[in-house]
Amino acid sequence: MHTASSILAATDFSAAATSAVRRAARIASQLGATLHVLHVVSPLSLYPGQHMDAAALNNSALDGAAEQLRPLLASLAEEFGIRTHAAWRIGRVHAQIAGYAREVAADLVVSGARGEHPLLRSFLGSTTSRLLRVYGGPILIVRRPNWLYAHVLAAVDFSADSDAALVWGRRLAGETCLDVLHVLEPEMDRRLPLTEREAANADMRTIASNLMDNVLASLPGKNRSHVETGYVPTRILELAQQWRSDLIVVGRHGHDGLEAFLLGSVSKDVVQAAECDVLVAGVE
C-alpha cells in the first residue's frame, strides 16, 4: 500500500485549529510524512473614504503569521520527530488551502471542524465546508482532542471512492482492527410485495457479503466486516456511536466534471452530524 509523504494542516491559531495541527503532526509521525502548516491572511477590505495602507497592513499580518508559525513548527518537529514546513499566504482561505495542497501534492489535508463560538459548535465551519466543495482530495475534519485513533470505521459502497476510504482507514487504524461497514438500504421493502421482500433482501445481503470478502482479501492488517440494513448515513452514525469510533472514513462519492467537487448526500450528512473525526476520501 502506497504510503503518504505530505500532510497539510491549516491554522488560524485558534484552539480548534491547534488541535487539528497536532492531529496532523501525529499522523505525519505515524506515516513518516512531512508536515506542512499553512496560515492564510484574509486581505484587508476598506470602505470608500478610509485612508489606510492596505498593502502594508496585509504584509504586516503575513510577517506576524510567520513569527507565530516558526516556534509552533519547531515544537512539533521536536515532539513528534517529524519534518515540518511553514507557509503563509494571503487571499480567500479555502481557495488558498486548496491551491497550496495542490502545489505540494498533499496526500491529506487536515482542518478543524467548527468555529470557536459556542452556538456554532454543532455546525461545520464555513472554511471547512467551502474547502470540501473546491478540493477533491482527502480531507480530515478534526472534532476531538489529539489521542490515538483506537476505533476506526470505514464505510464502503464498493465504488472507487470507497476504495480510497479503505486505504485511509487502514493507514490510520495502524495496528488496531478496522471496522469495514456496508449499509444496505431497504429499497426492496418499498418496491416489492411483502411475500417477495425477505428473499430479495437475503440475496442482496449475500451479494454484499461476497463483495466485502473480496475487498478484505486484499486489505492488509486486522479488519472486521459488517453488512447492515437501514438509512445509510443514520446507520453509519448509530454504529459509530455504538462502537465508540474515534474516526469515520467515507468516500466523497463524486463523479467526473463538476460533481467531482460535490459531496454525496451520505458523506455530507455524516460530516455534518458526526461527533467524532471524519475523513472524506477522494482523488483530486
Verify that 122 and 207 share a domain, yes or no.
Answer: no
Element (H, E) at 200: helix 194-217
DSSP, res 253: -
Three-state SS for 252? coil
**pLDDT of res. 122:** 42
| pLDDT tens track for 87-110 | 988 888 899 999 999 999 999 999
Question: Is the pLDDT higher at 253 or at 90?
Answer: 90
Spatial distance between the Cα atoms of 191 and 163, rounded to a whole number of angstroms: 30
Verify that 111 and 171 share a domain, yes or no.
Answer: no
Whose CA is closest to 44, among 59, 33, 23? 59
Q: Stretch 56-73: mean pLDDT, rounded?
A: 77
Verify that 154 and 250 share a domain, yes or no.
Answer: yes
Asked which of 126, 146, 166 is the last residue of a domain, the reply is: 146
Verify that 235 and 98 share a domain, yes or no.
Answer: no
Residue 183: strand pairing partners: 228
Verify that 131 and 35 share a domain, yes or no.
Answer: yes
pLDDT above 70 covers a percentage of the chain that reads 80
Verify that 101 and 210 share a domain, yes or no.
Answer: no
Instruction: Give the structural domain span for 267.
Output: 148-284
User: What is the number of domains present in the chain?
Assistant: 2
Asked which of 92, 121, 146 is the last residue of a domain, the reply is: 146
CB of 81 closer than 8 Å to CB of 33: no
Phi, psi of 5 (to 5 degrees): -120, -15
Q: What is the mean pLDDT of the chain?
A: 84
Q: Stretch 133-159: mean pLDDT, rounded?
A: 90
Verify that 159 and 19 share a domain, yes or no.
Answer: no
Asked which of 95, 121, 146 is the last residue of a domain, the reply is: 146
The grid cell for 78 is 521536536
Whose CA is closest to 100, among 3, 4, 6? 6
Looking at residue 187, which CATH number applies to its domain?
A: 3.40.50.620
Verify that 221 and 251 share a domain, yes or no.
Answer: yes
Verify that 136 and 153 share a domain, yes or no.
Answer: no
CB of 253 closer than 8 Å to CB of 157: yes
Verify that 282 and 191 share a domain, yes or no.
Answer: yes
For residue 86, pLDDT over 70 is answered with yes
Question: Which range is least confidently modeled, 97-111, 165-179, 184-198, 203-217?
Answer: 184-198
**pLDDT of res. 44:** 59
Verify that 90 and 57 share a domain, yes or no.
Answer: yes
Classify 31 in phi/psi space as left (phi over 0), alpha (psi -120 to 50) or beta. alpha
Question: Is the pLDDT higher at 178 or at 283?
Answer: 178
Verify that 9 and 140 share a domain, yes or no.
Answer: yes
